[in-house]
Amino acid sequence: MPRLVMKFGGTSVANLDRIRRVAKRVGLEVAKGYDVIVVVSAMSGKTNELVGWVRETSPFYDAREYDAVVSSGENVTAGLLALVLQENGIDARSWQGWQVPVKTSSAHGSARITDIPTANFDDRFTRGMKVAVVAGFQGISAEGRITTLGRGGSDTTAVAFAAAHKAERCDIYTDVDGVYTTDPRIVRKARKLDRIAFEEMLELASLGAKVLQTRSVELAMRYKVKLRVLSSFEEPSDTAGTLVCDEEDIMESNVVAGVAFVRDEAKMTLVSVADRPGVSAAIFGPLAEAGVNVDMIVQNIAEDGRTDMTFSLPVDQVARAEKAVQTARAAGTINFHDLIADEGVSKVSVVGIGMRSHAGVAARMFKALSDEGINIKVITTSEIKISVLIDRKYMELAVQTLHDAFGLERA
Ligand code: ASP
Ligand code: MG
């Protein structure tokens, strides 16, 4: 029998009524002749509640116990869905991560899946099981402890199962009906994409589009898993949702596929650092050790052997970053005249594989922003993306402007 992976997010399993609706969906695929692996999230809000309880115990909680607690939400929904499926006359069984086992690294809170053996499910499917319901987001380390895969990790569980079982498709059911050109809450004319390339999706996911966990897209790209994002609240249809696929499978696309944004960014400048070999390493080494996620980096042209170094980071890491560079300064490994932090910036990016073959995308982007009087503070580019840092108060305007400038409301 062909195999299918279906993943249901928190809002799709938020209560028993919705779990019953999910069971109906799954039943439709079983009726088509698929052996189905269903991956479920915790009921919406549950994981946040569990994380909150753990944090209340101590700011220095043990990461292994965090995983023990936080993984439990998925256990409940997996068991409930199996029960409802059985009630519908479908041969179904639930699995927690350790039972499969979903083997992972020992990085508690953000573990990576290393292996998913398939023999057990193969055997069960041959003997008549129709649906395996898997608790997403969790696995087991080599030390035998429960691990979790990072927030949003059920997407990655689903794609990993699809890859391991060579599933025909991996359908990610969520509360939106697909991947949009940008967030429809900011741009009303945002359009649902029928298809998007893995690489574009990867950029959009890591640039703040929350619909899929970034790592799940990486995995899908590596193992060429056909990934579909669709709503569990719409009537079933073969063309529903957005297909995330190889770029060869996209006939024609806009130069720019979408506009992504990260609202809460910060920018730090070390004014007048020495311009000599080793200085960047002396700055960014301690920042990395302090767990600061530095994103964009800009170094000015040097004058008199001194230069300014600017970088961007998440707003909530500014204090940590300041401490790291001040400590390095006190230790004498770096020196600078001044440290300036700007906590009021946002990052706005345009993404599209069409940029590889079309010149002038950057020029068009900068012109559109300047026509609206929006000042660009930092720019970075990659082969398929251009990102700018701007004042946060212009973020919505910038996203709308770029959506218009690249004609994204039209297919
Ligand atoms: N329940 C977990 C979370 O909220 C995993 C997931 O839903 O993907 O992050
Ligand atoms: Mg999610």
DSSP assignment of 42-54, as one string? Answer: PPTTHHHHHHHHH
**CB-ligand 1 contact for 97 (6 Å cutoff):** no
Counting from 1 in the atom list of ligand 1, the atom nearest the Cα of 41 is 7
Token pair for 215: 């790592």
pTM for the whole structure = 0.86
Cα-Cα-Cα-Cα dihedral sign, residues 410, 230, 9, 353: negative
Q: 97-124 pLDDT, tens per residue?
A: 999 999 999 999 999 999 999 999 999 9
Half-sphere exposure of 94 (CA within 13 A, CB side): 17
Closest C-alpha among 112, 106, 102, 98 to residue 153: 112
Give the per-residue pLDDT at 235. 83
Using the mean position of ligand 1's atoms as its centre, give its distance from the Cα of residue 50 in Å.
Answer: 11
Per-residue pLDDT band for 210 (boundaries 50, 70, 90) equals confident
208 pLDDT above the threshold of 80: no
Atom of ligand 1 minimally distant from the CA of 213: 8
Residue 47 in contact with ligand 1 by CB distance below 6 A = yes
What are the pLDDT digits (tens) for 63-72?
Answer: 999 999 999 9
| pLDDT score, position 343 | 97
Dihedral angle, C-alpha 206, 207, 208, 214, nearest 10 °: -10
Question: How much distance in Å is there from the Cα of 365 to the middle of ligand 2?
Answer: 30
Strand duo 258-274 + 338-351: pairing: antiparallel
Nearest Cα residue to 169 out of 181, 159, 155: 159
Percent of the chain with pLDDT over 70: 100
Neighbours of ion ligand 2 (CB under 5 A): 9, 152
Atom of ligand 1 minimally distant from the CA of 154: 8
Q: Where are the beta strands (DSSP E) in 193-323?
A: 195-197, 227-231, 242-245, 258-274, 297-299, 306-314
Ligand nearest to the CA of 172: 2
Q: How far is CA 13 from CA 78, 178, 190, 262, 399, in A?
A: 10, 18, 27, 28, 32
